[in-house]
Chains A and B, each alone.
Chain A
Amino acid sequence: MDYQNVLTTCTYCGCGCNFFLEVLDGKLVGTLPCKTSPVNEGKLCIKGWNVHQFVQSEKRLTHPMIRKNGVLEKVSWDEAFEYTASRLSEIKAAKGGDAIGFLTSAKVTNEENYLLQKFARAGVGTNNIDHCARL
C-alpha cells in the first residue's frame, strides 16, 4: 500500500493553480486542490479537477507520428524534425509565411514563448501566432 500526494501545477492555463496528484501504488487516482496555495486557495475549475484522467489516457501521444499514405506511423524524433522543417520550408516557398500558423502554450517559459514568436515572425515571416490560454 503506497499512497502519495504529489504537489504540482496545473498544465491547462496560465493561472497556475496548485494541486496534489493522488498516487496509489504508482497509478494516479485523483486530484486534490492545494488548500495552502495562495494562487487557488483550495479551489479548481472542472479541468483542474480532472487532470489525473488525461495523464494515463490511452489516447495520449507518446511518440512522434507522421501520417504516411493516410495512416499514422510512429517515427523517430530525427525523422519528425526533418519532416517538419522541410515541409515548413516548402509551404513557405510555395504559399508564403502567412500560410503557416503557430500555437504555443501558457505553460512553457516566457523565454520559450519568446523563441517561438521570434521563429514565427523572423524565421517564417508571419504574425499567425496564438496560445492555449485563449480559453
Chain B
Amino acid sequence: MIDMVKQKIEALFKEKKIAGFLGLREQNGQVAPHLFMEGQALEGLCLGDRKIAGDARYPLNKILVTLARQYPEKTLGILARGCDERGLYGLFRLNQLDPDRVIPVGIACPGDLALACECKKPFPDALAAGEKIQAGESVKAGLETLAAMDTLDLDKRFSFWKNQFSKCVKCYGCRDICPMCFCKDCSLECEDLVSKGDLPVDIPVFHLTRAMHMADRCVDCGLCDEACPADIPLRLLYKKTAQIMDIEFGFTSGINKDERSPLSMMGPAPKKVAK
C-alpha cells in the first residue's frame, strides 16, 4: 500500500502539482507529521500504523490550516484517510482551506479499524491505495452505541455525563487536537461561560458548549477521544449531536464535498430527509 502512496506523491511532485506533501514520517522510533518538500526523498514516509492500523494518527488537517494561513498561494498534498477527507470537506465549507489548493492522497482503512472507529465512510473519495470497505457494519455499530445510551432514562443519562465530565482536568486537549477547531477566539476561554484557572471544570457548560459547536463540524475522527487524559467518551457526545443534525436536517458533516450546513443558512428550515 505504501508503495502506491509513494508513487502517487512522486507523480504529483513531478507534474509540479504540489509544493509540498503533508504526511507522516517515522523518525527516532516515533511517528510524526512531516512536510515533505520537492526534491526530497520520501524517506521514512508511513501511514500511521504501528502496533495496529491507525494507532498513530495526527491532525494533519489542522497543520494544513496553519500552513495555508501562512502560505495561501501554495498547493499542498496531504495524506488522508476517510475521516481526514471528511475534515477537508468541512474545512472547505467553513472557508478555512481552498479546495483548489489541496490535493488529498487517500488511503482506505481496513475493516477492523473501520469497525473500531464506527466509521461512517472508511475510505476517501480521492483513493490512492487500499481497498474500499463499505461502511454498513461500522455505521450499524455506531447506531447501536447511541441506542444503548438512549435506553437510559434522562436522569440516569445526565448523571452518567456529569460523572464523566467531573473527570475532566481541563487540559483543552479535545479542542487543541481537533482538526475542526480553528476559531481565533474560543468560547471555552470566554470567562462568562467558563471560569479561568480552576477546577472542577464548569459542569456541564464546558463540554456541552463544545458539543454544540461541534454539531455541524465534527467529522467523527476520534482524535479527541485519543487525546483525553481522563478517558471521557467525547466522541460519543459529539456522535449524539451529529445524530440530531442528521435526524432533523439530513446533514452529516464532511460526507459531501459541496455540502452546506443548515446552521449557516438563512431562510426556512431544510426539509427533513426520509431515511
Q: Interface of A with B (CB < 8 Å)? A: 1, 3-5, 7, 18, 20, 22, 24-25, 29-37, 42-46, 48-49
* Contact of B31 with A by CB under 8 A: yes
Interface string of B48-60 (1 = CB under 8 A from A): 0010000111110
Residues of A within 8 A of B171 (CB): 43-46, 48-49
Partner of A7, one of B19, B28, B173: B28
**In the complex, A1 Cα to B21 Cα: how many Å?**
12
Residues of B within 8 A of A24 (CB): 66-67, 70
Residues of B within 8 A of A46 (CB): 169-173
* Contact of B200 with A by CB under 8 A: no
**In the complex, A44 Cα to B177 Cα: how many Å?**
10
B37 vs chain A, min Cβ distance (A): 7
**In the complex, A24 Cα to B35 Cα: how many Å?**
10
**Other 11 A-B pairs with CB < 8 A, given A32-B59, A49-B172:** A1-B37, A18-B30, A22-B66, A29-B66, A31-B176, A32-B177, A33-B227, A34-B30, A35-B57, A42-B227, A45-B169
Interface string of B162-190 (1 = CB under 8 A from A): 00000001111100110000000000000
B267 vs chain A, min Cβ distance (A): 38
The residue on B at minimum CB distance from A25 is B70
Best-surrounded residue of B22, B32, B63, B227 (most CB of chain A within 10 A): B32
**In the complex, A33 Cα to B226 Cα: how many Å?**
11
* Contact of B257 with A by CB under 8 A: no
**Contact between chains at A1 and B226 (CB < 8 Å):** no
**Contact between chains at B173 and A33 (CB < 8 Å):** yes
The residue on B at minimum CB distance from A18 is B30
**Contact between chains at B71 and A1 (CB < 8 Å):** yes
* Contact of B244 with A by CB under 8 A: no
Partner of B63, one of A3, A35, A36: A3
Best-surrounded residue of B56, B170, B173 (most CB of chain A within 10 A): B173
**In the complex, A42 Cα to B171 Cα: how many Å?**
13
**Contact between chains at B67 and A1 (CB < 8 Å):** yes
A6 vs chain B, min Cβ distance (A): 9
Interface string of B209-241 (1 = CB under 8 A from A): 000000000000000001111000000000000
Residues of A within 8 A of B57 (CB): 35
Interface residues of B in 15-44 (CB under 8 A from A): 19-20, 22, 27-35, 37
Partner of A32, one of B20, B22, B33: B33
**Contact between chains at B31 and A3 (CB < 8 Å):** no
- Assuming the contacts A35-B55, A44-B173, A46-B172, asked whether A5 and B34 have C-beta atoms less than 8 A apart, the reply is yes
**Contact between chains at A35 and B58 (CB < 8 Å):** yes
**In the complex, A48 Cα to B169 Cα: how many Å?**
13
A56 vs chain B, min Cβ distance (A): 16
| 14 intermolecular pairs with C-beta atoms under 8 Å apart | A1-B20, A5-B33, A7-B28, A22-B63, A24-B66, A32-B59, A34-B32, A35-B226, A42-B227, A43-B228, A44-B171, A46-B169, A46-B171, A49-B171
Interface residues of B in 72-89 (CB under 8 A from A): 74
Residues of B within 8 A of A29 (CB): 66
